[in-house]
Amino acid sequence: MREFNETIIEVEQDGTPSGQPLGISHAPSRCGELFARYKERNMPAFIGYLPFGFPDTELSLEAFRTMVDNGVDIVEIGLPYSDPVMDGPVIQAASQIALRNGERIADVFRAVETVANAGGIPLIMSYWNLIFHYGVERFAADFANAGGAGLITPDLIPDEAGEWIEASDRHGLDRIFLVSPDSTDERLRIVAKNARGFVYAASRMGVTGERDTINASPERLVARARAAGAQNVCVGIGVSTPQQGATVGQYADGVIVGSALVHTLLDDQGDVKDPVQGMGALANTTASLAEAIHHCRL
Amino acid sequence: MLDELVAGALEDQQARARETSLDELKAMAAQAPAPRDAKRWLRHDDGIPVIAEIKRASPSKGHLTDIQHPGELAAEYAAGGASAISVLTEGRRFLGSLADLDEVRAAVDIPVLRKDFITTDYQIWEARAHGADLVLLIVAALGDDELVHLLALTHELGMTALVETHTREEIDRAIAAGAQVIGINARNLKNLRVDVGTYRELAHNLPDDVIKVAESGVFGAVEVQDYGRAGADAVLVGEGVATADDHELAVQRLVKAGATVKASEQTPLSTHEGPYFGEYGGRYVPEALVSALDELERVYAQAKADPEFHKELARLNRQYVGRPSPLTEAPRFAERIKERTGLDARVFLKREDLNHTGAHKINNAIGQALLVKRMGKTRVIAETGAGQHGVATATVCAMMGLKCRIYMGQIDARRQALNVARMRMLGAEVVEVTLGDRILKDAINEALRDWVTNVKDTHYLLGTVAGPHPFPAMVRDFQKIIGEEAKEQLQEWYGIDHPDAICACVGGGSNAIGIMNAFLDDDRVNLYGFEAGGEGPESGRHAIRFAPGTGELGMFQGAKSYLLENSEGQTLDTYSISAGLDYASVGPEHAWLKDIGRVTYSWATDGEAMSAFKDLCETEGIIPAIESSHAIAGAYKAALDLKAKGYEHPVMIINVSGRGDKDMNTAGKWFGYLTDEQSKALEANGAQGNNA
């Protein structure tokens, strides 16, 4: 017996609802919900980055827990990549250490679970080829199952994101695209329209890494992104001290810190520190950043 | 199930007929707005029309979404670029109605499809009376005579029928009945996924004038692209748009995906523009580079349309580069080919080695440097592997007074110390990259990081037909002069109308695209590209991207193409005796030309390349670059292929993309012409050649 479109299929597949492709998930954005709560309290969120598998898989799980325990609201779990064009020397070095120590993409879901269990919101930051190679739909399914909330995609612009938009819609995952100070209003509109969760505003032109000063451009960029329709805008790249975090937190919905946290696990030579010392330093740095960011508007 | 739905629909129709007679319907139909010719909306050269559906529920998925105002939803679809609106009027399982149809008809000017289980004349008249332009006819629900009859009535009323099919047999019945628009349901009944393979099989060999609509499982951009590449003219989508948060945006994305597919397959090949070559190419870059790429694209488009730009480029090519480069006949080398393969070919060499700076790289460097001037930028950065592109860039920057920085992997810089010195002589700053694997790809990464940081005053002068759009198409345009000259020279100098074969080496692929472009649309010309085989495909030490078991589809340094990567998606180390071919990915146009079978790709190993290097030196007194030697080695393989194809006296052109002076140390060591002492002395100088 046969009938039109998917109605046929229903007959033959009745009882196996899992056989149907997922429709659009209308689950609310987890980041979006957090920002809504924090806005009521007039407080910016603290988003912390570390590469997964750095210094090795087990220690990185401990590091993610440490971050959440010390005040990180949203954890940006970086997937180490051989060719990270948006990263400066510190994160490049950390990624290489992770790769040398046998980091594997299939294990990253353990980090996702760790963050979720600790009470943080897990995001993954990944260069696109890693996700593409794993399989976009497969990655979205595994990531959502592990409790993941969304992806930050430093080298995927909305124009190329068709497959990811579809998969993230089906699995209710956030899509975090970047904008930079020289993005035109038109580009800001395109990003805002396709983003889910928040928009990642780069504080300056360039790659990740610590800086002594932050100029005024991120404040303008945040305002422009909002005018272009972005609901939540977080600022990252070059934010490394509590004071900088507090300044940025005045106007951004969230403050993203990466290299400064990575740095706590490395010694002056760029080698991995003793783990106990490293975790202590990570806890201290995280706590003082959290304190400064969360209380900056009081 | 179908029987039940059909019976239900018929029962409902009979109930309506008690309220409204067929004559009354006919009177209504006479008053209805004239039907639109839906066929004109459902096939376009530059896009894949989207039929967006008003869909509340389906028997398989149950309730999907509340639609209070179908007219408003239809208007949103139309604003997103839908070509037609499908309205489910079945009420029992799909929760639709004729009132929905009325509302939609009043709200949009594009064709409207009545989707129901239609088996009677009454339902067809009803559709027309309510302003429909299209009706759905399900082959499985109709006998042949019924199908013919209902189809004829539909056409008589000026409407179009979307005739739905599931099997090849149903498709044949539909065509026999005179269907002009065929809906193909290609869902894999086992896993319910859209199966493009099934679609291809079903849609195979349909008459050209039949419009093919992919009807099942279209949800987002992925399916539109898959069906589009499989040859569907239009798609019908329900849930994916009806349940979206932003209906207009959801349709827009599908329309854009369809336009992308169509643009990516446009011919003629020689003038194909990016951003996509088939499914390859694009702009996989940080958002921070988008403005710069947009600017480059805009400025290049202006330059391309400006005769003054072409005049200046031609002048520099003639007076500075020394173009045209000669096309030299190589009879003694042809003799070797004959000895080795038995094929009696005439062989010609395109002499890019005679350009200023000794390779084809300068063609592109000059073109882009002129664009730098037009953009008003003052600083140029570039990557280099063997140093040829770095030298060409440093050269044109010196000539035009531009600040220049060249990134070079530390390993490459050490094995090409003399080229580093050359670049420094020319006023360039050479930065040795100590990150990553310290080879070409790492130099490109570092150049990209520089560009992201300094994009305002800096142009990244990429050296090959890879990277993000517009580089692949733009660099090709600057290199295509190679093939254009060769074609003309073959005719004017040698009185030969066209070559039978072209051989070129392929790293990123710029010299190969350069010589092939003029012949891409001439099927008489066999095209051969040769990758760096290193120690052979099984050795794991090579830069072969196209052979089975080597490259995979991936994104690398701005473009989607074939890529050498490990099981984790991390870029693999590559190896070749020639630094210039030692790259993990390949230009997207080559990937496309491979897929469509226009170019035959193979490889030459280190050993084959070095042996060919020697052959050309000995027979013609020409020392080719080791990169180009891969094309020369390839000529033997191409000759065998031509012979197998039945050619007896073919004309072959080999692109000698560069000269081999830079490679003398490598060659000296390879052939044992250097004593240990000499070799050591060279190594102490850091000038030991590029197989160190």
Q: Which residues of A touch B276 (CB under 8 A)?
A: none
% of chain B surpassing 70 pLDDT: 97
Task: With a cut of 90, say whether residue B196 has pLDDT above it.
Answer: no
CB nearest to A23's CB, from B2, B243, B284: B243
Cβ neighbours of B558 (radius 10 Å)? 27
Shared fold status for B276-315+358-465 and B326-357+475-683: yes
Provide the residue type at B638 as one letter.
A
| pLDDT band for position A1 (cuts 50, 70, 90) | very low
DSSP state at residue B571: B
| Mean residue pLDDT across chain B | 94
**Distances in Å between the alpha carbon of B47 and those of B108, B254, B266, B417, B599?**
20, 10, 11, 52, 27
CB nearest to A162's CB, from B221, B291, B456: B221
Q: Does domain B326-357+475-683 have CATH number 3.40.50.880?
A: no
Task: With a cut of 80, say whether residue A214 has pLDDT above it.
Answer: no
Nearest to A95 by CA among A269, A258, A280, A267: A258
Give the C-alpha separation, A157 to B373, whole Å. 28
Q: Is B594 on the interface with A (CB under 8 A)?
A: no
Give the C-alpha separation, A47 to A77, whole Å. 10
One-character DSSP codes across chain A: ---STHHHHHHHHTT-GGGSPP----PPPHHHHHHHHHHHTT--EEEEEEETTSS-HHHHHHHHHHHHHTT-SEEEEEPP-S--TT--HHHHHHHHHHHHTT--GGGHHHHHHHHHHHTPEEEEE--HHHHHHH-HHHHHHHHHHTT--EEE-TT--GGG-HHHHHHHHHHT-EEE-EE-TT--HHHHHHHHHH-BS-EEEESSSS-S---S---SHHHHHHHHHHHTT-S-EEEESS--SHHHHHHHHTT-SEEEE-HHHHHHTB-TTSPBPPHHHHHHHHHHHHHHHHHHHHTTT-
CB B227 within 8 A of CB B214: yes
Q: Do B189 and A8 touch (CB under 8 A)?
A: yes
Q: Omega of the bond prior to B324 within 30 degrees of 0, cis?
A: yes
Q: Does domain B2-263 have CATH number 3.20.20.70?
A: yes
**Distances in Å between the alpha carbon of B624 and those of B28, B359, B607, B615, B663?**
81, 10, 15, 10, 9
CB B237 within 8 A of CB B53: yes
Give the C-alpha separation, B405 to B447, whole Å. 9
- Enumerate residues 6+ apart whose C-beta is below 8 A from B132: B35, B87, B101, B105, B112, B113, B114, B159
CB B493 within 8 A of CB B486: no
Task: With a cut of 90, say whether residue A18 has pLDDT above it.
Answer: no
Give the C-alpha separation, A132 to B348, whole Å. 43
Give the C-alpha separation, A156 to A165, whole Å. 11
ipTM: 0.93
- Judged by phi (left if over 0) then psi (alpha if -120 to 50, else beta), residue A42 lies in left
Helix (H) or strand (E) holding B350: strand B346-351
Residue B149 C-alpha from the chain's centroid: 45
Q: Which residues of A touch B454 (CB under 8 A)?
A: 205
Classify domain B276-315+358-465 at the CATH topology level: Rossmann fold (3.40.50)
| pLDDT band for position B104 (cuts 50, 70, 90) | very high
- Concerning whether B567 is annotated as a catalytic residue, the answer is no
Going by their DSSP bridges, the two strands B327-329 and B346-351 should be labelled as antiparallel
Q: Vertex A68, ends A63 and A73: CA angle to 5°?
A: 135
* Angstroms from B455 CA to nearest CA on chain A: 8
Q: What are phi and psi of B184, to 5 degrees?
A: -115, 125
Q: Is B63 on the interface with A (CB under 8 A)?
A: no
Q: Do A180 and B453 touch (CB under 8 A)?
A: no
DSSP state at residue B646: T
Burial status of residue B77 (CB atoms within 10 A of its CB: 0-12, 13-18, 19 or more): buried
- Enumerate residues 6+ apart whose C-beta is below 8 A from A40: none
| pLDDT band for position B80 (cuts 50, 70, 90) | very high
CB B321 within 8 A of CB B363: yes
CB nearest to A159's CB, from B283, B442, B453: B283
| pLDDT band for position B603 (cuts 50, 70, 90) | very high
Q: Which two tokens stand for residue B270?
A: 């020689």
Q: Which residues of A275-291 are buried (b: 16+ CB within 10 A; e: fewer)?
A: eeebbebbbebbbebbb
- Enumerate residues 6+ apart whose C-beta is below 8 A from B351: B325, B326, B327, B328, B622, B656
Give the C-alpha separation, A124 to A77, whole Å. 5
Task: With a cut of 50, say whether residue B461 has pLDDT above it.
Answer: yes
- Concerning whether B291 is annotated as a catalytic residue, the answer is no
Give the C-alpha separation, B332 to A101, whole Å. 55
Cβ neighbours of A159 (radius 10 Å)? 18
CB nearest to A179's CB, from B185, B189, B287: B287
* Angstroms from A2 CA to nearest CA on chain B: 6
Classify domain A29-294 at the CATH topology level: TIM Barrel (3.20.20)
Q: What are phi and psi of B295, to 5 degrees?
A: -65, -45
% of chain B surpassing 90 pLDDT: 87
Q: Any idea which of A83-92, B47-56, B363-372, B455-464 has the lowest mean pLDDT?
A: A83-92
CB nearest to B221's CB, from A5, A84, A166: A166
Burial status of residue B309 (CB atoms within 10 A of its CB: 0-12, 13-18, 19 or more): middle
Helix (H) or strand (E) holding B637: helix B626-644
- Enumerate residues 6+ apart whose C-beta is below 8 A from B59: A6, A7, A10, B1, B5, B93, B94
Task: With a cut of 50, say whether residue B431 has pLDDT above it.
Answer: yes
Burial status of residue A298 (CB atoms within 10 A of its CB: 0-12, 13-18, 19 or more): exposed
CB B530 within 8 A of CB B601: yes
pLDDT tens-digit map of B566-577: 999 999 999 999
Nearest to B366 by CA among B318, B328, B331, B417: B318
Q: Do A9 and B60 touch (CB under 8 A)?
A: yes
Between chain A and chain B, the number of residue pairs with CB atoms below 8 A apart is 203
Nearest to B516 by CA among B587, B460, B461: B587
* Angstroms from A132 CA to nearest CA on chain B: 7
Q: Which residues of A touch B217 (CB under 8 A)?
A: 6, 21
| H helix runs in B84-204, sequence order | 98-107, 121-129, 144-156, 168-176, 196-203
* Angstroms from A178 CA to nearest CA on chain B: 6
Q: Do A177 and B287 touch (CB under 8 A)?
A: yes
Q: Packing angle between helix B471-479 and helix B588-595, nearest 10 degrees? A: 80
Where exactly are the structural domains of chain B?
2-263, 276-315+358-465, 326-357+475-683
pLDDT tens-digit map of B131-142: 999 999 999 999
Task: With a cut of 60, say whether residue B687 has pLDDT above it.
Answer: no
Task: With a cut of 60, say whether residue A2 has pLDDT above it.
Answer: no
| pLDDT band for position B45 (cuts 50, 70, 90) | very high
Q: Residues 275-314, chain B: which have Cβ within 8 Å of A?
A: 282-288, 290-291
pLDDT tens-digit map of B469-487: 999 999 999 999 999 999 9
Q: Which residues of B touch A157 (CB under 8 A)?
A: 283-287, 290
Catalytic residue (one of B53, B164, B248, B383): B383
Task: With a cut of 80, say whether residue A15 has pLDDT above it.
Answer: no
Q: Which two tokens stand for residue A139?
A: 């990655």
Q: Residues 218-237, chain B: which have Cβ within 8 Å of A?
A: 219-222, 225
Nearest to A226 by CA among A248, A246, A198: A198
Residue B692: the pLDDT is: 32
